[in-house]
Structure 1
Amino acid sequence: MASYDIAVGLPLGVDPEPYAKAGATWWLPEFDPGVRLDAVRGVLRDGPAA
C-alpha cells in the first residue's frame, strides 16, 4: 500500500471509478468559474454519485 495519496480533479458527472482503480485516492470535483456557492455546497453534501 502506498504511503501517499493521489488526487484527481474531474468535471462533475465524470465517473471517478476508473481513476480509483488506477490508484487515485481522492476525487476533487472541478467547478466552472462563477458557479453558485449553493451548487458547490450541494456537491460537497451529496458526495460522488453512486
Structure 2
Amino acid sequence: MCPAYPDSLDDFVDLVVPELQRRALFRTTYPGTTWRDSLGMWSFA
C-alpha cells in the first residue's frame, strides 16, 4: 500500500465530500439509523 494513501483519503473526506454535499451531489443524511436501514434491508427484530 502506498504510504501517502491515508493522508490523501483524509484530504478527500475533509475537502471533496463537503464540496459535493454543498453541490447536492452527495447525501448529507441517511434514511435509517443503521447500515441495514440505509440499504433498505429488512431486520429480524
TM-score after normalising by structure 1? 0.25
Q: TM-score, normalised by structure 2?
A: 0.27
Structure in which a larger fraction of residues adopt strand: 1
Greater relative contact order (Cα < 8 A, sep 6+): 1
